[in-house]
Structure 1
Amino acid sequence: MTSLPLAILHEQPGDEAAIDRLQERAFGPGRYARSAYRLREGAPALRELSFVARVGAMLVGSNRMTPILIGRTPALLLGPLVVDPAFRSRGIGGALIAASVTAAEQAGHRLVLLVGDEPYYGRLGFSRAPEGRIELPGPVDPARLLWRPLVAEAEADVAGEVRPAV
């Protein structure tokens, strides 16, 4: 973990502009073309599962959870996870994910999906979804499609198209 005076807090409506600026700096304007971003369009993140990281008054990280359906199965889409480049490699991303996953477990959710790097997210309990079982709206490298069951066997029969749960 980090030795910074770090606070992990639920995202608040007033955090929106700072999160947008942070995502712009970290991912650039091309982020909107990505499949995971397209799933989030028009589907608000669940604030009770979404967290920000602050060092003092400065917002330095954010993670959101958005409700989705995989076929007919309810799940959550993790992300975007973003940490200010000046604060990376200090455990902030892991702390944000841990807060979101713990809150999701406590709220009774069963499965979390994300598009990301297996070496990073694998350390946090995510594994590669079986190729061909999940279909996203747009191209995704199957090696980057990861999930984490929050209860035993939650992923056993999950298959199909991913879409917003709105």
Structure 2
Amino acid sequence: MIAILSESPVDAPGIESLLDEAFGPRRRMKTAERLREGRKPADGLALVAVSSAGLIGTVRLWEVDAGGVPALLLGPVAVRCDWQGQGIGGRLVRTALKRAEMAGHKAVILVGDAPYYGRFGFGRDVVAGLALPGPVDPQRFLGLELEPGALSGANGLVRGTGAPQTAVPGAALVDMDRVAVPGYRF
């Protein structure tokens, strides 16, 4: 059984290891990282996939200003290599987008593979007036309007706007949601 759950502080080391495995040592040099660094993911929009093998996937969304329009930045999405090809990444993305829509967010942007993200409705047209704070292949800069027309007035530079990342002394490291997942390793 695979469960999609909200990320917990106990997941942090596993997520970092998974992202290093998936994207390599240069992952922190990417343009999208400039929008994420020093910030927390959007509330309720950092998810993990877990199985009896433990943490097997992750996705996060981040608050951004997309040329004057509030939006979310999706990514990174990663699935452990021995679990790829089973639809886990797709489940993570669909769940994250549904949660974003339910929370009232209206638009999501990302830097990623157009054929992969196109199946979720992402495309180039809605981000045509936007620019990222660093080099990126324009064919990989994509957007999705969760509400039609949400990005119609977006023009200019995308910048990170989410809450700053801070350590919370004495924060609980056990997420009780995990108790319901048979075989989950803490």
TM-score by shorter chain over 0.5: yes
Q: Give the deviation of 1:129 after TM superposition.
A: 3.9
Which one-letter code corresponds to 1:161 in the other structure?
Answer: L
Mapping for residues 8-47 of structure 1, pairs under 5 Å: 8-47=4-43
1:1-166 alignment to 2 at 5 Å? 5-129=1-125, 133-166=129-162
AA of the residue aligned to 1:106: M
CA RMSD of aligned residues (A): 1.3
Deviation readout 1:95-127 (Å, 9 max, x if unpaired): 001111001000100100000011000011111
Contact 2:127–2:151, Cα closer than 8 Å, also in 1 = no
**4+ residue segments displaced more than 2 Å:** 129-132
Q: CA deviation at 1:90?
A: 0.7
In the alignment, the residues of structure 2 paired with residue 29 and residue 123 of structure 1 have an alpha-carbon distance, to the nearest angstrom, of 29
Amino acid at match of 2:14: A
> Residue 47 of structure 1: CA displacement?
4.2
* Alpha-carbon shift at residue 132 of structure 1 (Å): 5.0
List gaps (5 residues or longer) in structure 2.
Answer: 163-186
When Rg is computed on C-alpha atoms for both structures, the one with the higher figure is 2
CA contact (8 A) 1:129 1:145 kept: no
* Counterpart residue type for residue 60 of structure 1: I
- Identity rate, percent: 44
The 8 Å contact of residues 133 and 158 in structure 2, kept in 1 or not, is answered as: yes
Q: CA deviation at 1:131?
A: 6.8
Q: 1:75 to 1:97 in 2, by over 3 A?
A: same
- Unaligned 5+ segments in structure 1 are none
Residue by residue over 1:41-96, the C-alpha shift from the partner in whole angstroms, topping out at 9 and shown as x without a partner, is 01210240111001125101000000000122110000100111111111001100
- Change over 3 Å in CA distance of 1:132–1:155 after alignment to 2: closer
Question: Larger relative CO (CA 8 A, sep 6+): 1 or 2?
Answer: 2
Q: How many residues align?
A: 162
